[in-house]
Structure 1
Amino acid sequence: MEPSPLTQDSRPEIFQPKIIRLYESLFREDDEDTELSDGFWQEFFLHRPDSAGLKRILDSIPPDEMLHLQSHSQQLVRRAIQRIRQGKSPSDEVALETLTVFLDAALTKKYTNPSSDIISVLAGLHDADAVMTDFIAMLDTVIRNGRSIPLRLKAVRATLSITAAGFHTALPSYFTHRDLFPSLMKYVQDCENSDQIIPAFYLLGLLTNYNKFEFQNPYRLRLDDFVNDAIIQKIIGSFGDHCLRLRDAYVAVQDDLPEGWTLGSTLNYIGLGALAPGSRPSTPTPAAEDTKSLFAALPGPEIGILLSTYDFANANKVFCSSLIALQPEKKTDTSPLSAYLSLTSYLFQHAHRSTRAALYSYLSLFIIQILVEDQLLLKRLCSDDNKLSVRLCRQRQPYLPLARSDRVPTTVILDLMLDGINHNLRRRLDVDFYSLCLGILLRILSYLSRAKVRLAYHWSEVWRTLLSFVRFLMTYESDVKSNYKSSEMINALVSLLAFALSSGENFLPDPASYDDLFYKLTESGDVLVKFRDAFGLSSQNGPTQSLINVSAHYQSLLDGEGGKSKGKHLSPLEVSKVIKQGYETLSIDSSEGLDRWEKFREADRKTLLKRIARAAVDDAKLINDDV
């Protein structure tokens, strides 16, 4: 029998999906000027997209080559817009997903002239306005009224991609020409779960920060006027959920859940902590060395929602009020405020690990400062009606006393400030961070004094922390003085101590707490004198001199009772007696002016906020891969 003329082709070793071959045809350099046929695009948008494959192909194309292929990339953008506007399933969703992957990969390349090159890749310089206007109108329509939430989410992601990728170019200006705010709020209103809200909330933060110091940003104005309680509460609820996720990433590295009841913690809980063995409650074992790199990578990219939260809080009192008041559906769940304060605690203990972590810590400090500067909001933060339980970070020593019951939010904020001061001490001190912490403490104490609010709190930790900080500044005097901003920080520290000294009787809960402040100042007398001289705080009527005078007054009384002169150690009871007797002959300078502070002004933090926005933009490029 003669052999058959028909032969069977061997099966390829690796099967390549048809869509991959179409991607390769689309971005083939040898025919970059060819107008692809309708049939090509019909087939292209029928196949299920291969996001990983498309990204791999785009990542392999250098920026200059991408510019050479702009004819095909422009066709992709135009054809995708057309398919999406037709609203036919599944091609509209395929087109939107493909466009999102394309934007993620193509727009993050390092072009020589980013603004013009990006416009060339997307639309061409001559047709830019028409194509981009059409593109954004399409996104706006889908975000507001798309046929399904998944499709609308893809539109939000595409908008987030192009905004983040082109944030430092003229590209996002197209999103300020067309106001997406109503559509984003309608989308949030219709969202079915917390995860769907986050990309829209993140996007709102980026749009609000685009050139906001250079022109009147329309999104910032929208935040001022927005009063829809239901949508605001939905955003805050989603924010709280994601704060817990970000917090739990720290816990996954080192579980710092406090140990069970011990003698020390029990005595501390009932107010007899002084009788406990040691000066601190029982604490977990410190983390191993190999956790440092894991902590340095935190927080996760979703932390960028802090930028949106800051902008909303800074512009809108309804938002601030809802953040404080909103309670979870189940009593066993965590409130958004509790979740936010818990995350902030972990941020502060690890703020020193990276510039990025420090930037987001500033942002959280801005939010807290905005809250405590509003007297009505601070009154609510001090109210027993708003008590909450907050898991605070205990991953590094020193540890603050463990609170095992619900507390008013202000006491939690005080703990955050003390932890921030205690856990970020470095020779190259982050002066901005410390000035913010001290400023918030002063704002809280001045309110408590004026309103005669007496909070149950471990006040001795405040005085211990502040005076330990004085000692630290003395130890690293030359390093501190080399920072031109340090004088502002030092003045804030001295004013805070002097104000507490002169006004403590207005807010401290009992005489023993006030006595403790005097005793700790007396102990630090020599350090305060050196501190005054080292940093040039020698004014005869200044707050530093007031602290020194009080310390010297009591030191002389204690010495007279048998301290240095008789070589006798006084008991705590004897010391307390001397301090009480000393009030009769003590003269304390007026606290007038010590609690003066300037209201938060965004323009004063312009440089820092621009750095934070850049960090949020970088994180947006990462979060878009995961939402």
Structure 2
Amino acid sequence: MNFKHTPTPRLVSKFIASYDKLFEGFSPQQIAPHESPTQFWSSLLSLKVDISYLGGKFRIIDKDALLTFHKPFINELFSSCLFYLRTVSYGDSRKINSMETLSVVLRCCLEKNLAGWEAMELFAGGVAESDTVFLDFVGIIDTILSDESASADIKHRVLQLAVVFACSINQLSPGAYLLRKNFFPALLKMIKDPETQAFGFEAALLLAIISNFHRTDAAKLNPCLQSVKEVEDREMLKCICYTANYTMDSVIKSYQEISDDSPPTFASSMSNLFASFRPDRALSATPVDPHRELFKNQPVEAAVILLPIHDFIRLNPVFNAVLLEPLMLQQQQQTASEKASLPPLLYTLLSMSSYVLSHASSIASPRATAYANLCLATFLDLVENDVAMSSFLQPGLSAIRLCRQRQPPLPQGANNRPAIGALLDCCVLWLRHNFHKKLEVRSYVCCTWVLQRVIWFLSKTKRRLEYHWEELWRALNFLLDFLANKTEVAPSSRAERLVQETVLLLDCSIRYAESFLPSPSAVHQLVYELVRSSSVLQKHHTVFSQTTHRSPSKSANSSTAAANAAYHHLIDVVSHYEGKVQESGVASSAVAVLRVISKEVERDGLFGGKEQNEEEAPKHADELGEVGFIRFACADGLALMPGPD
């Protein structure tokens, strides 16, 4: 007999069946005619949320359909979730399910580039109702976060919901409702409480996102931002440092997993030597950079922890004291457990920054460049703090591992060298490895400001720093050469500003060379590098003859005048020593030229140099303004939260 095969009917969960009907436009009364709307939503929100299904359904809906056909359903769903989130007990499944549903709805709907008023229409039913709905929403979050009877799991879930909302809404107008509640006390308690310390990353991230909401025009109305400035709870600040330290360490490891750049040991050096004798390695005389495409997703999203750290460094003096405290301890004061744990946060920050700055423009990623800009802005805030600079000059507690994935690597620093050496290395790595047609002029200017402040402080305090200074001078000269030959790198006014700041940096260096360079030979080397780049300096002559007429403001005129004076002083110094070299009649070899320069400096002193730095400290952090990082912070913060694939 021939039996016809009957396909087995596909079983569909009640959750999916109910939502399928809702997405098709059926009302709760049509789907469950024997239940009231309240009973329907209560029943639906009692079911375990299928996050992948729900996210998939919302993501296939276009924006127009979302704001028209699906708007009544979303209004009702949002309102029902808020009701059960507010009213039912912590043990009721509807509370957790409402959180998960809201998280999916907010994330997937706000992905569609809604305007602020459209978000109010979609979730609240209209602009007129937005105060009621959104104040209820943020009030519920604050209540649960502050409730001592809520479990750690519940607090973690509602914290993640808050992060999803804050990151999804970004700078849209409904985000202002987050400023109507002061979340800081609840977040502070979560960061300190042993039961919730594990969620310190999300708490610090939420604090940073809220603090940066329309920061330039809403700062006085932002209670979180005011609290970041004023908090003096050292225990809480130490917890943030602890969380950031481990998070940044994971960011560093993600780079190292792509390309192992462990410092060479004697054994590895011998192994590489013997390997080079193999026929297949014979033509590989020099190491090559790992393929840039491998780093296209770096840094990993966890690097967003840099934003709250930057804010605290910039705004809070007590945080700076906590951050710098380990550097002020002598080596013998460290306990065995401290030596076995991670290095101080500042060391980890420098290490992570070295990787970010080395690879920032490897693939022309605006995100990677934004992270580099934030690293440099953080450096600028640190070096403009005299206490921080004094801490940077203390003998190192341990070696700071810096990126060695780009060739040629910088010379290896001693284990106990001061942290300032690692900071200078980070700046050199940025200068070396980020030359492109579309030059990141703002970041390069910030880098020169960092270096200006370091050299000013060293010369002012007469601290002679052992460092491979020639690497810095060569990087700066190469930058000037690049700018002279690439007229299309940036709008002329911005490129000229970078030339001016670089010249100011070199001029400051030569004026006070004998105050901060570690030896006479280091002074001779600086003069030699300037003489060697004489033609590069001459290429910028027209820039300095033209900029005087372009400055639009008094402060700009003052800056331009200082740069012009610095340029002509540099030219005078270079011309003086070029003349001495020509008079000597020696061969033009590097050794011979350096010998002539050394003799001249030793006999007559440094031409154009000064014994005492009487200049005021350069201050540029306020001029730098906002770092423009918030959209990347929101995207990365959202990517770290659980949600639909």
TM-score by length of 2: 0.83
Amino acid of the structure 1 residue aligned with 2:453 = R
2:211 match: 208
Determine whether 1:293 maps to 2:268.
no
Is the CA contact 1:246–1:300 (under 8 Å) kept in the aligned structure 2? yes
**Where does residue 111 of structure 2 map in the other structure?**
108
Amino acid at match of 2:179: T
For 1:325 and 1:369, the matched residues in 2 are separated by 19
1:545-577 Cα offsets, whole Å, 9 max, x none, are 32232223333333343415xx88855884465
What letter matches 2:111 in structure 1?
T
404-413 vs 528-537, which moves further? 528-537
Change (3 A) 1:593 1:426: farther
Q: Distance in 2 between matches of 1:454 and 1:78?
A: 66
Compared with structure 1, are the counterparts of its residues 82 and 530 closer, same or farther at alpha carbon in structure 2 (3 Å cutoff)?
closer
Equivalent pairs: percent with the same residue? 25
Q: Which moved more, 1:71-80 or 1:242-251?
A: 71-80
Amino acid across the alignment from 1:363: L
Shift of 1:495: 1.5
Is structure 2 residue 56 aligned with structure 1 residue 46? no
Cross-structure match for 1:220? 225
- Further displaced range: 552-561 or 161-170: 552-561
Shift of the alpha carbon at 1:519? Answer: 2.1
1:320 aligns with 2:332: no
With over 3 angstroms needed to count, the CA separation of the structure-2 counterparts of 1:515 and 1:212, relative to structure 1, is same
2:409 corresponding residue in structure 1? 399
* CA separation of 1:333 and 1:161: change in aligned 2, threshold 3 A: same
Question: Aligned with 2:17: secondary structure?
Answer: helix
**Equivalent position of 1:525 in the other structure:** 534
Which one is further off, 462-471 or 345-354? 462-471
Q: How does 1:460-539 map to 2 (within 5 A)?
A: 460-476=470-486, 478-479=487-488, 482-533=491-542, 535-536=544-545
Tell whether 2:121 aligns with 1:120: yes
Q: Check conservation: 1:418, 1:465, Cα contact below 8 A.
A: yes
**Equivalent position to 2:23, from 20, 27, 41:** 27
Aligned to 1:346: 355
Q: Say whether 1:459 aligns with 2:469.
A: yes
After TM superposition, the structure 1 = structure 2 runs for residues 207-286 of structure 1, keeping only pairs within 5 Å, are 207-215=210-218, 216=220, 217-261=222-266, 285-286=287-288
| Bigger Cα displacement from structure 2, 245-254 vs 444-453 | 245-254
Query: Relative CO higher for 1 or 2, CA cutoff 8 Å, sep ≥ 6?
Result: 2
Partners of 1:170 and 1:150 lie apart in 2 by 30
Structure 1 residues 500 and 168, CA gap change in structure 2 (3 angstroms):
closer
Matched residues in 1 for 2:139 and 2:610: separation?
Answer: 65
Q: Match of 2:216, SS?
A: coil
Is it true that 1:172 corresponds to 2:180 in the alignment? Answer: no
SS in 1 for 2:310: helix
Q: Which amino acid aligns with 1:210?
A: F
SS in 2 for 1:400: coil
Q: Aligned-pair distance for 1:144?
A: 2.1
Mapping 1:40-189, distance limit 5 Å: 40-67=40-67, 68-85=69-86, 86-91=88-93, 92-111=95-114, 114-125=115-126, 126-145=128-147, 147-189=150-192
Query: For 1:394-443, what per-residue CA distance to the aligned partner results, in whole angstroms no more than 9, with x for missing partners?
Result: 12123210125132111111111111111111233221111111110010
With 451-460 and 364-373 compared, the bigger mean Cα shift is at: 451-460
Q: Which residue identity is paired with 1:605?
A: G
Shift in CA distance, 264/106, structure 1 to aligned 2, threshold 3 Å: closer
Specify whether residues 319 and 473 from structure 1 end up closer, same or farther in structure 2 by C-alpha distance, changes over 3 A only.
same
Amino acid at match of 2:377: F
Contact 2:459 2:515 in 1 (8 A): yes
Does the 8 A contact of 2:569 with 2:608 survive in 1? no
TM superposition shift of 1:309: 2.1
Residue in structure 2 matched with residue 578 of structure 1 by the alignment: 599
Aligned to 1:272: none
TM-score (norm. length: structure 1): 0.86
Q: Does 1:450 align with 2:460?
A: yes
Q: Report how far residue 228 of structure 1 moved.
A: 0.8
Q: 1:11 to 1:46 in 2, by over 3 A?
A: farther
Contact 1:201–1:308 (CA<8 Å) still a contact in 2?
yes
TM-superposed CA distance for 1:448, in Å, is 0.7
* Farther off after superposition, 480-489 or 33-42: 33-42
What's the CA shift for 1:508?
A: 1.4
- For residues 585 and 19 of structure 1, what CA distance do their matches in structure 2 show? 82
C-alpha distance in structure 2 between counterparts of 1:357 and 1:584, whole Å? 45
Q: C-alpha separation between the residues in 2 aligned to 1:593 and 1:625?
A: 56
Determine helix, strand or coil for the equivalent of 2:621.
Answer: coil
Tell me which of 605, 610, 623 is aligned to 2:625: 605
Instruction: Select the residue among 356, 365, 389 that pairs with 2:376.
Output: 365
Residue 436 (structure 1) aligned with residue 446 (structure 2): yes
One of 556, 562, 566 as aligned partner of 2:579:
556
Does 1:618 pair with 2:635? yes
**Superposition RMSD on alpha carbons, in Å?**
3.2
- Amino acid in the other structure paired with 1:183: A
Which runs of 5 or more residues in structure 2 are unaligned? 271-283, 328-333, 549-560
Per-residue deviation, 1:262: 8.4
Task: Please give the alpha-carbon distance, in whole angstroms, between the structure 2 residues aligned to 1:595 and 1:296.
Answer: 42
Give the CA deviation at 1:595.
6.7
Q: What is the CA–CA distance in structure 2 between the aligned matches of 1:197 and 1:263, rounded to whole Å?
A: 39
The worse-fitting range, judged by mean Cα deviation, of 144-153 and 368-377 is 144-153
Please state whether the residue corresponding to 1:484 is helix, strand or coil. helix
Q: Report how far residue 77 of structure 1 moved.
A: 2.5
Instruction: Indicate yes or no: 2:354 matched with 1:331.
Output: no
Kindly indicate whether the alpha-carbon contact (under 8 Å) linking 1:467 and 1:524 is maintained by their aligned counterparts in 2: yes
Is the 8 Å Cα contact of residues 483 and 495 (structure 2) preserved in structure 1?
A: no
**What amino acid is aligned across from residue 398 of structure 1 in structure 2?**
P
In structure 2, do the counterparts of structure 1 residues 340 and 473 end up closer, same or farther at CA, with 3 Å as the change threshold?
A: same
2:196 and 2:257 map into 1 onto residues whose CA distance is: 24
Q: CA offsets, 1:20-71, max 9 Å, x none?
A: 2233244341337869534333332333222112111222233333333333
Name the aligned partner's letter for residue 182 of structure 1.
P
Distance 2:198 2:77 in 1: 29
Aligned residues of 1:205 and 1:311 also touching (Cα < 8 A)? yes
Q: Secondary structure at the match of 1:601?
A: helix
Per the alignment, in what secondary structure is the counterpart of residue 91 of structure 2? coil
* Equivalent pair of 1:167/1:210 in contact (CA under 8 Å): yes
Aligned partners of 1:172 and 1:210 also within 8 Å: yes
Change (3 A) 1:263 1:589: farther
When residues 167 and 48 of structure 1 are mapped into structure 2, their CA distance, relative to the original with a 3 A threshold, is same
Q: Which amino acid is the alignment partner of residue 222 of structure 1?
A: S
Q: Which amino acid aligns with 1:220?
A: L
| Cα deviation code 1:302-332 (max 9, x no counterpart) | 3333222222222111122222335895413
TM-aligned CA distance change 1:66 to 1:351, over 3 Å: same
Moved more, 76-85 or 241-250: 76-85
Tell me, what secondary structure is at the counterpart of 2:170? coil
Per-residue deviation, 1:579: 3.6
Give the Å deviation of 1:592.
6.9
The corresponding residue for 1:378 is 389
Range 205-214 or range 433-442, more displaced: 205-214
How many residues are treated as equivalent by the alignment? 591
